[in-house]
Amino acid sequence: MPSDKQLCTFYVGESYFGIPVDQVQEVVRPQPITPVPLAPKVIRGLINLRGQILTAIDLRNRLGLGEPGDPANLINIVVRTTDSPVSFLVDEIGEVLDLDQKTFESPPETLQGDMRELICGAYKLRDRLLLALSTERTISLADSSAPTRERDLGAATRFNQNGGTAERRIP
Amino acid sequence: MSDDIVREFLVESSENLDLLDRELINLEKDPGNRSTLASIFRTIHTIKGTCGFLGFTKLESVAHVGENLLSKLRDGELALNPEMTTALLAMVDAIRQMLASVEAVGNEGERNDQELIQTLTRLLQGTAAAAKADAAAAPAVAPVVPALAASVAPPPVELPATPLPVAEAAPKMEPKPDYADHAAADHGPAAPAGESAAQSQSRTAASESSIRVDVTLLDKLMNLVGELVLARNQILQFSNATEDAGLLAPSQRLNLITTELQEGVMKTRMQPIGNIWSKFPRTVRDVATMCGKQVRIEMEGKETELDKTIVEAIKDPLTHIVRNSVDHGIEKPERRVAVGKPSEGRLLLRAYHEGGQVIIEISDDGGGLDADKIRRKAVEKGLITPEQAARMGEREGVNLIFLPGFSTAEKVTNVSGRGVGMDVVKTNIEKIGGTVDVQSKAGTGTTVRMKIPLTLAIIPALIVTSGGDRYAIPQISLLELVRLDGEDAQTGIELIQGVPVHRLRGRLLPLVYLNRELKVDSEGADLAKLPAVNIVVLQADERPFGLVVDEINDTEEIVVKPLGKQLKGLKTFAGSTIMGDGRVALILDVLGLAQTSGVVNEVRARALAEKEAEASAVTGERQTLLLFAGPDDSHMALPLDHVGRLEVFPIASVERAGLREVVQYRGEILPLMFLSEMLPERRAHVRHAASLAKNAHPDRLQGIVYADGGNRVGVIIERILDIVEETIQAKSPPGRFGVLYTTVVQGRVTELLDMGTLLRAFERNRSPNISAERVEV
């Protein structure tokens, strides 16, 4: 459960999310994105933020809310991490809200899918729900997707390729 | 005594003394601060140890009493009081004066520090209550003190010949045991000039001619230079486009200055590899003593320079390998003598530049690695399958030690087998863009060879375009560029078994299509229709391959930026960079690309083949071979002499006689031997029926009528590929039963069948029912 909080809010599709404002480095307008072939789909590519290269994660895809949007329209929320900063691509940026911890509730058990993993809970605002997103999990899950496994097996598959080549070469 | 050592000692000590001053003052403010105390103690200890080693006995004796006092303070036996601080500071001053004297005239000078020593000793005895001993009282106290001190500490006064434990412990090859973080002194301007005048001048300047700089500052400078290089690139692009003479001249100058600045900043970060090697004699000695071995360490190329970050990054892997070599590689003296080697093992560290990289080799003359044992162990641990193991050559086998979770240490010793395995070594080396492999000859030793880039930060690269995006290829792996225009674009690329190759000056160059590898192109793109083909000839693991890209742009200095951890798993990319227009481009990892595209294994095998050919110096005999595809499309060959005919048998003509399939062939009954049945399968349970089913012409069988003596048998294979005349350059051991050896024919690893063994097995399998005579009919 998040302690107190000011959340930086944003929209992805119909949903309203927030992340702790102290984790947000800055919010940047849509940036040219260089796609990274072979990367997991949630990673839209790399952006150049004043000489620093950031990985851009498509939150719509990450949250299981559908196919990635057009990066030309997506706002970058630059999030600090223990590693280098990461950019979250969102549809629209909202306000920074001071939130009363009393309105916080854990996610309902019935919440399914990718979102379940990433949501710490919800703040019950007067007119709608604000979902508190865990930046850590949002980032780390992107980390644990397929290619990382490939690396772990990298050394093993290298030895495997001796046999593998012939098979793969068949047109 | 080498001047360099003294000079380094002076530089080091004068900094240490400044530090001592500050810390003593801090300590006085906060007497309970143990970490400050410990730091002061270490500093004094360092100075004392080095003085002893260098023979500065006066310095040493002063530092020694100070150290004793500090050790009591550190252990809490005494509490710091102002008097002590004063005395300690006086000691610092005395040391500083002596060092100044050493720097000026080469010795400590005529001094009498008795008073200081006595004051310190008295404080040491805890007799501070006696209040300040004034100068007159001191001599009276003096005779008493040594007696009192005897049980506590060695006599502090006049110890010209008493070697101190620390000085003794300092091994000869390692004059500065405690100087862990010794900055590389600038040997350039202050090098002994020969002339005594110049010499004394350079000596005086020693402590001023080099300064210590925080590495983070250097890192920051490096980053800034990186940014500057990017900005320079942008400006150059712009000025070249505008052709404004007014802009062109300054931008050219900017270009030159940036390049020089970049080189300069890079140089500040260069360190000789000897800095990390200097600790190895001690490491080796410790490990060797622990294992009861005798090991001599030799070093070549200590002065080879590498970027500081790289030096740091390879420190642990190197240490690990060195320890491993001593612990596992070199045998015990008895055993060495028994096999006719000198009882003392030899560990050789070599470093040298090659093609813009640094090669580091760690060789021992120990027992070598047992490829069979390693393979068995890997299978046992489930790291590879028995089939994979069977296919592996010697070199691949020994390189299994780099697999995660692998350790052949039979027993976990203090030194090895603790789970920090060679896989960590490999991961760490690859992380900085290096490679590591191991070569070993049973009985004669093991060599671990690392290839390390000089620097990580800024590299020249070739920019190419594929699928609409730009990619940077490090120039270090670039061999040449080939462009096939017009008709060549069609005819220049040939297919062997669907594998595209290009004949480059008579040699076959395997081609890799970047679009395909990156999956950035629709599958349907027709290669044959391209108007021109751009081939970037690259080198991975010492072997060339061609990378086909859409467009070749330019070469550029790029600043390497690491990928976020979300993307670290992609083997194809080594990092990213920012291009002149501010957009991000990915840097291709050539080795990774070669591996994922499958080029590298073939390549490795070929490299192996050639190396062995060089080694044996005797080239193989020239043979005419029939090349064909065996089960699973593996390439196989048979000497043509024994091939009677090539025949296609309609499936309908196959009859069964007992347990075997036969055909009537020229009035004989010809038994059919299905290779897919005879050879151990790569994939389990693929019976020949399955191979029949996937045969291109399911109603016909491709056969080779093989004749050896009177025996004839129809060998059923997948397809005939070619007939070639080849000089068999190298043979690597067979990967499975029924294979004589593995070699390379037309750039493909090819298995040469051992028909003798196969036929015998064929007979054995069926012999209860069919006699040998029938075969001969």
Sign of CA dihedral A46, A48, A51, A55: negative
Contacts of B469 (CB under 8 A, 6+ apart): A34, A35, A37, B520, B585, B586
* Cross-chain residue pair A166–B632, CB shorter than 8 Å: yes
* Cross-chain residue pair A34–B404, CB shorter than 8 Å: no
Question: Residue B769: which domain range?
Answer: 619-776
Q: Please tell me the distance in Å from A154's CA to the nearest CA on chain B.
A: 9
CB nearest A156 (choices: B384, B562, B595): B384
Residues 652-691, chain B: which have Cβ within 8 Å of A?
682
Interface test with A, best of B396, B541, B566, B632 (most A CBs within 10 A): B566
Cα B328 from Cα B346, distance rounded (Å): 13
Per-residue pLDDT reduced to its tens digit, B271-321: 888 888 887 887 788 788 888 888 888 899 888 888 887 888 888 888 888
Could you tell me if B90 and B239 lie in one domain?
no
Q: Where in B356-455 does DSSP place strands (E)?
A: 357-364, 435-441, 445-453
Is the residue at A46 inside a domain?
A: yes
Any chain A CB within 8 A of the CB of B326?
Answer: no
Supply the DSSP symbol for B77: S
Q: Which of B11, B84, B18, B23 is nearest to B50 (CA)?
A: B11
Could you tell me if B692 and B748 lie in one domain?
yes
Q: Which of B673, B674, B656, B654 is nearest to B665 (CA)?
A: B654
CB nearest B585 (choices: A34, A150, A163): A34
* Cross-chain residue pair A161–B595, CB shorter than 8 Å: yes
Backbone phi, psi, residue A45, to 5°: 150, -155
Strands A52-58 and A24-28: unpaired
Range name among B393-397, B492-496, B590-594 with the lowest pLDDT average: B393-397
Is the residue at B169 inside a domain?
A: yes
What distances in angstroms separate CA B341 from CA B293, B336, B365, B675, one per listed residue? Answer: 13, 5, 9, 47
Cα B566 from Cα B657, distance rounded (Å): 62
In this structure, are residues B528 and B515 in contact, taking their beta carbons and an 8 Å threshold?
A: no
Could you tell me if B389 and B531 lie in one domain?
no
- What CATH number is attached to the domain comprising B313? 3.30.565.10
- In this prediction, does ipTM exceed 0.85? no
Residue A162: list chain B partners with CB under 8 A.
388, 391-392, 396, 601, 605, 735, 749
Could you tell me if B412 and B435 lie in one domain?
yes
Cα B611 from Cα B606, distance rounded (Å): 8
Could you tell me if B7 and B31 lie in one domain?
yes
Strands A129-133 and B458-466: unpaired
Q: What is the predicted pLDDT for the residue at B102?
A: 81
Question: Residue A125: which domain range?
Answer: 6-146
Cα B12 from Cα B9, distance rounded (Å): 5
Q: Please tell me the distance in Å from B570's CA to the nearest CA on chain A.
A: 6
Q: SS3 sequence, B201-236?
A: HHHHHHHHHCCCCCHHHHHHHHHHHHHHHHHHHHHH
CB nearest A34 (choices: B227, B469, B749): B469
**How many domains does the structure of chain B reveal?**
5
* Cross-chain residue pair A48–B582, CB shorter than 8 Å: yes
Any chain B CB within 8 A of the CB of A129?
Answer: no
Sign of CA dihedral B739, B742, B743, B748: positive
Q: Which of B231, B234, B224 is nearest to B264 (CA)?
A: B224
Is the residue at A158 inside a domain?
A: no
Cα B61 from Cα B94, distance rounded (Å): 11
How many other CB atoms are there within 10 angstroms of residue A142's CB atom?
Answer: 24
Is the residue at B608 inside a domain?
A: no
Is the residue at A71 inside a domain?
A: yes
Residues 37-96, chain A: which have Cβ within 8 Å of B?
37-40, 43, 45-48, 51-55, 57, 83-84, 86
Q: Which residue has the tokens 């991975």?
A: B540
Residue B606's pLDDT band (boundaries 50, 70, 90)? very low
Burial B747-772 (b: 16+ CB within 10 A, else e): bbbbbbbbbeebbebbbeebeeebee
In this structure, are residues A108 and A119 in contact, taking their beta carbons and an 8 Å threshold?
A: no
Is the residue at B611 inside a domain?
A: no
Cα B99 from Cα B463, distance rounded (Å): 55
Beta partners for B351?
B360
Cα B58 from Cα B61, distance rounded (Å): 5
Residue B730's pLDDT band (boundaries 50, 70, 90)? low
* Cross-chain residue pair B567–A150, CB shorter than 8 Å: no
Q: What is the predicted pLDDT for the residue at B527?
A: 53
Task: Name residue B645's amino acid.
Answer: R
Answer with the residue of higher pLDDT: B347 or B118: B347
Could you tell me if B255 and B301 lie in one domain?
no
Answer with the residue of higher pLDDT: B543 or A60: A60
Any chain B CB within 8 A of the CB of A149?
Answer: yes
Residue A53: list chain B partners with CB under 8 A.
561, 563-564, 576-578, 584
Is the residue at A82 inside a domain?
A: yes
Structure tokens at B145: 């003190």
What distances in angstroms separate CA B682 from CA A167, A169, B178, B385, one per listed residue? Answer: 10, 16, 56, 10
Report the alpha-carbon angle B592-B595-B598, nearest 5: 150
Could you tell me if B53 and B109 lie in one domain?
yes
Helix (H, G, I), strand (E, B) or coil at B714: strand
- Taking the alpha carbons at both ends of chain A, their separation in whole angstroms is 54
Residue B350's pLDDT band (boundaries 50, 70, 90)? very high
Q: Which of A35, A40, A87, A83 is nearest to B570 (CA)?
A: A40
Q: What is the predicted pLDDT for the residue at B266?
A: 79
Last residue of a domain, one of B453, B475, B499: B453
Residue A44: list chain B partners with CB under 8 A.
none
Residues 371-390, chain B: which have Cβ within 8 Å of A?
383-384, 387-388
Residue A46's pLDDT band (boundaries 50, 70, 90)? very high
Last residue of a domain, one of B209, B233, B254: B209
What distances in angstroms separate CA B261 from CA B217, B253, B556, one per listed residue? Answer: 15, 12, 17
Is the residue at A59 inside a domain?
A: yes
CB nearest A43 (choices: B387, B567, B578): B567
Largest CA distance in chain B: 128
Could you tell me if B254 and B382 lie in one domain?
no
Cα B199 from Cα B197, distance rounded (Å): 5
Structure tokens at B218: 């250097």
Is the residue at B614 inside a domain?
A: no
Residue B391: list chain A partners with CB under 8 A.
162-163
Is the residue at A159 inside a domain?
A: no
Give the relative orientation of helices B422-431 and B308-324 as an angle to the nearest 10 degrees: 160
Answer with the residue of higher pLDDT: B419 or B321: B321
Residue B689 pLDDT exceeds 50? no
Interface test with B, best of A162, A167, A168, A169 (most B CBs within 10 A): A162
* Cross-chain residue pair A51–B227, CB shorter than 8 Å: yes
Residue A134's pLDDT band (boundaries 50, 70, 90)? confident
**How many domains does the structure of chain A reveal?**
1
Q: Please tell me the distance in Å from B392's CA to the nearest CA on chain A.
A: 8
Could you tell me if B435 and B305 lie in one domain?
yes
Cα B252 from Cα B414, distance rounded (Å): 59
Residue B753's pLDDT band (boundaries 50, 70, 90)? confident
Cα B400 from Cα B378, distance rounded (Å): 7
Range name among A68-72, B318-322, B524-528, B566-570 with the lowest pLDDT average: B524-528
Is the residue at A156 inside a domain?
A: no
Nearest CA in chain B to A50: B582
Strands B748-753 and B635-639: parallel
Is the residue at A15 inside a domain?
A: yes
Q: What is the predicted pLDDT for the residue at B463?
A: 93
Per-residue pLDDT reduced to its tens digit, A75-84: 999 998 877 7
Cα A60 from Cα A12, distance rounded (Å): 6
Task: Name residue B477's amino acid.
Answer: S
Mean pLDDT of B42-51: 80
Could you tell me if B690 and B591 lie in one domain?
no
Per-residue pLDDT reduced to its tens digit, B467-476: 888 999 988 7
Q: Which of B234, B51, B646, B599 is nearest to A169 (CA)?
A: B599
Q: What is the predicted pLDDT for the residue at A147?
A: 38
Range name among B29-33, B157-161, B604-608 with the lowest pLDDT average: B157-161
Contacts of B737 (CB under 8 A, 6+ apart): B679, B680, B757, B761
Could you tell me if B173 and B282 lie in one domain?
no
CB nearest A36 (choices: B586, B602, B634): B586
Task: Name residue A146's amino acid.
Answer: A
Nearest CA in chain A to B566: A143
E strand or H helix at B271: strand B270-272
Answer with the residue of higher pLDDT: B146 or B350: B350
Helix (H, G, I), strand (E, B) or coil at B738: coil
Residue B400 pLDDT exceeds 70? yes
Strands B345-354 and B493-496: unpaired
Question: Would you state the torsion angle of the CA atoms of residues B633, B637, B641, B642, taken in this order, to the nearest 10 degrees?
Answer: -60
Q: What is the predicted pLDDT for the residue at B208?
A: 65
Could you tell me if B265 and B281 lie in one domain?
no
Per-residue pLDDT reduced to its tens digit, B170-191: 344 434 433 333 433 334 333 3
What distances in angstroms separate CA B502 from CA A161, B403, B510, B538, one per listed residue? Answer: 22, 34, 7, 13
Cα A155 from Cα B336, distance rounded (Å): 34
Sign of CA dihedral B605, B453, A39, B582: negative
* Cross-chain residue pair A162–B392, CB shorter than 8 Å: yes
Structure tokens at A17: 């999310």
Q: What is the predicted pLDDT for the residue at A89?
A: 92
* Cross-chain residue pair A46–B572, CB shorter than 8 Å: no
Q: What is the predicted pLDDT for the residue at B406?
A: 67
Residue B652 pLDDT exceeds 50? yes
Residues 557-576, chain B: which have Cβ within 8 Å of A?
561-573, 576
Which of B54-68, B511-525, B754-768 reaches the highest mean pLDDT?
Answer: B54-68
Q: What is the predicted pLDDT for the residue at B13?
A: 79
Distance of alpha carbon A98 from the chain centroid: 23
Per-residue pLDDT reduced to its tens digit, B220-266: 888 788 778 878 888 888 888 887 888 888 888 998 999 899 888 87
Mean pLDDT of B736-762: 79
Cα B354 from Cα A118, distance rounded (Å): 49
Any chain A CB within 8 A of the CB of B51?
Answer: no
Q: What is the predicted pLDDT for the residue at B57?
A: 79
Mean pLDDT of B139-147: 39
Q: Which of B310, B422, B311, B297 is nearest to B362 (CA)?
A: B297
- What CATH number is attached to the domain comprising A71? 2.40.50.180
In this structure, are residues B738 and B757 in contact, taking their beta carbons and an 8 Å threshold?
A: yes
Cα A48 from Cα B559, distance rounded (Å): 13
